[in-house]
Structure 1
Amino acid sequence: MAFPSYDFIIVGGGTSGCLLAHRLAHAPSRPSVLIVEAGGQPEGDTLRAPYYRYTPASTRQDLDHGYATVPQKELGGREIPFTRGKGLGGSSILNFMVYLYGSKEDYNRWAELVGDESWKWAEVQELFKKIEDFDITGAKNYSHLANPDPENHGKGGTIKICLPPVLEQGTELILEAITKNGPPVNLDFNSGNPVGVGISPVSYSKEGRTTSATAHLVGAPDNLAIWIDAPVHQLIFEGDRVVGVEAADGRKATAGKEVILSAGALDSPKLLLLSGIGPAKELEGLGISVVKDLPGVGKHLQDHVLAFLCAEVKGNPLNNKYAFEKDATLILEAQALWEKNYSGDFTRHNNTSWAGFLKVPDMEHLLEYKALDEGWREFLSRDAVPHYEFIGNNILMPPDAQLDEGNGYLCVGSFLMNPLSEGSLTLRSANPEDKPLIDPAYLNHPLDKRLFIEGIRQTWQMLFENPDIKKHIKRKLRGPASLSDEDIVEFIKTAATTVWHANGSVKMGKKDDPLACVDSDCRVYGVEGLRVVDLSVCPLTTNNHTQATAYLIGEKVAEKMIVEYEL
């Protein structure tokens, strides 16, 4: 029986995969491309408007793979839900729309680790500009808080990015209070140096959320085919070459040139392992025939960990979302205006993320820092490398908290940057239907734990103990009992969670790196006709919210493949 054949098959229609498919399909030679996506075509009222930026991740289980971590020792033995987008667009359907490049030093260090200078900041910055269509005009209304240089940003790319046209209530008051006697304003987080406090760009436009599918699959050319509701269970081999894929429903397709895995940092290593590519002993123990002994598959899994800090506010000087959220009539009126012409309160509430990327003072004196190898000590000491992030205008935490009538709330997330803890993804069995064992090993590295403690402490002090903010606070809703190390550790055990930035589980690296799985062009070592193009290839965790890096990986590899195959 003959199966349909394509030049390229992309497994996963997510953030990187849709962009890669678009670029390949639009190359001058018009190669044939197939996307095979486990989920369907996302639809629904809560998927576009800025007001709903936090909603799909918690309410649309049909768009989520339903993963969770194994119990995390440093997080009180809790299993942490790990939301992963399922459907065309992948996790760009469910993310919180923050669009940050990270630090220029992330990419300079990346280039050092993989031995390829094309990953350095100078080249990467040009790719970011090519990817985006950045509407900067909103900043004219608050140029003291955001004022990017248009020369450093792109116009006409596929990903619509903006700075909010109007800031949410309270944003200026809070940022001016923080910077009054504290860290400086950063007028452009995407300049290559994120250190400072300011307004984050976001991945939406007047029409709402940008997903990789809305950006790259609308009006797809006839040489780009898409299978939906088709989770891939096996790669098809001829010798040591991958020549096709088999979906759960029995459909098969072959690739004349390459199969590209773009299923994300959890599902790409899962499919490699199921197909016999990974640590030989693990595979043999599950009765899986070993095609290629590749010890790093599923290892080096990393993620950002965060904790939400929240307080009830007297009145609503810092934000007036709570009254809106509790009023069904106002919601219906806002829905009607959004559907009519993309206007109204759905464009205003939850439209702004103010943030800070900061260093922990005197880090070099910490014993945990001194124990690092010289390369990581030097990297973490670079001026443009932050140690933690805080981000505001989040949802009420805990979500079931009841506030007094007329009051509001202030919720801030405090994140660890540059995690050094390395976890793993392994299979439960050889059954593709079984969910994998996901162990991010949060805070297992002693410096991670120390810097996270410091980040939470400093975030609380900077905001909730700031005199210009504290006067508005009525009571603590979520936070440590005190700012002692002991109380912060106890708080972490009960409250810390993930922000879903999994990466590194099919690590890019030099051939002599024992955990390296792909080369700097994302080709899998020792297997012909196979690449991995998504966040799983990251050799380090970038200082950002990682959707921009996922797009970057797709763009970088598309350019490399177009040259390699003379497309």
Structure 2
Amino acid sequence: MAQMFDFIIVGSGPAGSTLASTLSRSSKRPSVLLIEAGSKYTNPDLRVDGQRWMTFQKNPSMNWGYKTAPQEHALNREIDYSRGRALGGSSAINFGVYSVGASDDYDEWARVVGNNAFKWRNMQRRLKALETFHFDVPEGGKSGHIHVGYPREWEKDITPLLDIFEQAGFPLNKDHNSGNPIGMSVMINSAYGGIRSTAADALISAPENLIIQTDSPVQRLVIDDGKVIGVESNGKTYFASKEVVLSAGALDSPKILLHSGIGPRDQLQKYNIPVIVDVPVGQGLRDHYFTSIVYSRKDTSTDRKAFYGSQAAMDAALEEWKKDRTGGWSKYACGAGIGWFKSEEVAASDELNSLPAQEQRYIQLPTVPHFEIFTHFPAHWFIPNFPAEHLDYSCLSGFIYNSQARGEVTLQSSDPSVPLKFDPKILSHPFDRRVAIEVMRSVLKIAEHPSFAKDTVASIAVPKSASDEDILDYWKATVNSSWHMTGTAKMGTKDDPEAVVDEKFRVKGLTNLRVADMSVLPVLPSAHTQLPAYLTGATCAELLIKEYELE
């Protein structure tokens, strides 16, 4: 016998878990089904703070294992496009960066869609409710499910490296989650006390009216005369009396829509899927992209080799972590410097000045950065055959922001178990290539500063020179996705031809169906997208609670 719920939420990542938890805890206690394709994975060893960088590689059952199509502007490489397949979604395998972005991102979102619910002042209020921030300054939330903060102990070269940034002319910023991320900060983690937080933490002590169904991928929606009434999963049907909300992410919410007949007409007809609604699902894919440079350092500036170069040290640290969440695995790869910056060169470039006027205006807003620099990426886990003698190394990563490439996710089979084709079109836009060049020059400015260079022993991975051509060649050979996919079911006004959902997350042309995850964002946020995904779920929950008078 099929089961009936008030609400069905598909996907348990930051958006879906926040949405399901918040709805189910509202005072009228509606019945909510949270349905997740992956498993629960309750082993605490999967939450080791310093091992967050390896989870997606070491535990393939937790990862959909996606790759992009060959990228024409990146030497035809297939780029890793990992997505979490677990309770908690991609937060179960991500790198734990907890950043909100720019206040201007959210005010622009509100302007584009015509709904003040997305303005920064409202997002900031939701942010404080989501988190428990384990530090007095800067001030954060104190009662949320997601525990965030800094490692108990920082690696010895973090503070000196921040000093070098300041000496090299890069401003410092005490709180990158204040709404103005411009400047160099110490990274806020979705972790505290040696253990990582994931979206599954929002489901702790879930009320009885919230049913969590794992190991249940959704193949398609059940639609009756333009009204979405349920979902199909593994031969079972689950019905919703009020709403179905897709929160399966920017790669998989489109897949469910497309296999349900919601998407571009030509694409659906090609695979003999009956067309229910002709909307541009899967278009507008955006992401941030990064590359890193690596230098071997004097052993007086870092002590990583003593840890990573000794299996005995790492094994002993894991036992210490299991005992009381302390030791090397709560220190190494747990802290980093992170900063967002504007570039005079980008601002004055022909590439920016050739963009549409509204895009130029947005990119030049005061809190919107042009690029990001990140320190302490554990490159030895990612560079093949990393030389063991150089484990005392420093890694500096540069990220392209405001990417103007518009990729797509498209059907490649009528079988819902086959992934979509993912083509982000990395480095295809001239503006993206200009930002790539300028962020690398900024990273090289740090590496060549006398206070840094005095401790450099050798170059492990760097461009041949600082020329435009050599920098771009380096990017093409080494660029990676930041796994910040957005925009594939874009939110917009009713007359926006690129929009799939309206300003209240409702899919155009249907009733009782919404999408609430990173696929709807009309603005690529100036952040790592974990926290914006939490805020998206919280915003949709607030809207539904009001609409259905659940409080």
* TM above 0.5: yes
2-side partners of 1:93 and 1:415: how far apart?
Answer: 23
Shift of 1:67: 0.8
Q: 2:432 aligns with which of 438, 448, 457?
A: 448
1-side partners of 2:90 and 2:540: how far apart?
Answer: 20
Q: 1:298 aligns with which of 261, 282, 290?
A: 282
Q: How high is the sequence identity, in percent, across the aligned residues? A: 37
For 1:536, the equivalent position in structure 2 comes to: 519
Matched, 1:354 2:331: no
Residue type at the aligned position of 1:243: I
For 1:384, the equivalent position in structure 2 comes to: 367
TM-score (norm: length of structure 1):
0.95
In structure 2, the residue corresponding to 1:510 is in which secondary structure?
coil
83-92 vs 453-462, greater mean Cα deviation: 453-462
Shift of 1:165: 2.9
For 1:142, the equivalent position in structure 2 comes to: none
For 2:320, the equivalent position in structure 1 comes to: 337
Assess if the C-alpha contact under 8 Å between 2:50 and 2:331 holds in 1. yes
Assess if the C-alpha contact under 8 Å between 1:98 and 1:353 holds in 2. no
2-side partners of 1:560 and 1:434: how far apart?
Answer: 33
Shift of 1:430: 0.8
1:264-318 per-residue CA deviation (whole Å, 9 max, x = no partner) reads: 0000001100100001111011100001111x2100110001001111112141x
Q: 1:212 aligns with which of 199, 210, 214?
A: 199
Shift of 1:399: 4.5
Q: How many residues align?
A: 548
For 1:289, the equivalent position in structure 2 comes to: 274
1:155-197 per-residue CA deviation (whole Å, 9 max, x = no partner) reads: 1111111133322210011110110141111011011110111
Shift of 1:44: 4.3
For 2:96, the equivalent position in structure 1 comes to: 97
Shift of 1:18: 0.9
2-side partners of 1:76 and 1:172: how far apart?
Answer: 37
Matched, 1:425 2:412: no
For 1:262, the equivalent position in structure 2 comes to: 247
For 1:121, the equivalent position in structure 2 comes to: 120
Shift of 1:128: 1.0
Taking the TM superposition and a 5 Å limit, the aligned residue runs for 1:151-166 are 153-166=140-153
Q: Which runs of 4+ in 1 moved over 3 A?
A: 43-46
Assess if the C-alpha contact under 8 Å between 1:46 and 1:56 holds in 2. no
TM-score (norm: length of structure 2):
0.97
Residue type at the aligned position of 1:115: G
2-side partners of 1:446 and 1:109: how far apart?
Answer: 23
2-side partners of 1:534 and 1:364: how far apart?
Answer: 31
Runs of 5+ consecutive residues of structure 2 not aligned to the other structure:
none
Shift of 1:91: 0.4
Q: 1:274 aligns with which of 251, 259, 269?
A: 259
Residue type at the aligned position of 2:434: R
2-side partners of 1:290 and 1:313: how far apart?
Answer: 59
For 1:460, the equivalent position in structure 2 comes to: 444
Shift of 1:364: 3.4
For 1:245, the equivalent position in structure 2 comes to: 231
Shift of 1:404: 2.4
The 3 A distance-change label for structure 1 pair 357 and 73 is same
1:326-358 per-residue CA deviation (whole Å, 9 max, x = no partner) reads: 212112211111111111121111111211211
1:505-540 per-residue CA deviation (whole Å, 9 max, x = no partner) reads: 000111111110111111111111100011101101
Assess if the C-alpha contact under 8 Å between 1:196 and 1:357 holds in 2. yes
1-side partners of 2:129 and 2:44: how far apart?
Answer: 31
2-side partners of 1:3 and 1:258: how far apart?
Answer: 16
Residue type at the aligned position of 1:332: D
Assess if the C-alpha contact under 8 Å between 2:194 and 2:330 holds in 1. no
Q: 2:484 aligns with which of 493, 501, 508?
A: 501
Matched, 1:15 2:14: yes
Taking the TM superposition and a 5 Å limit, the aligned residue runs for 1:516-531 are 516-531=499-514
Assess if the C-alpha contact under 8 Å between 1:46 and 1:55 holds in 2. no
Assess if the C-alpha contact under 8 Å between 1:46 and 1:52 holds in 2. no
Runs of 5+ consecutive residues of structure 1 not aligned to the other structure:
138-146
346-355 vs 21-30, greater mean Cα deviation: 346-355
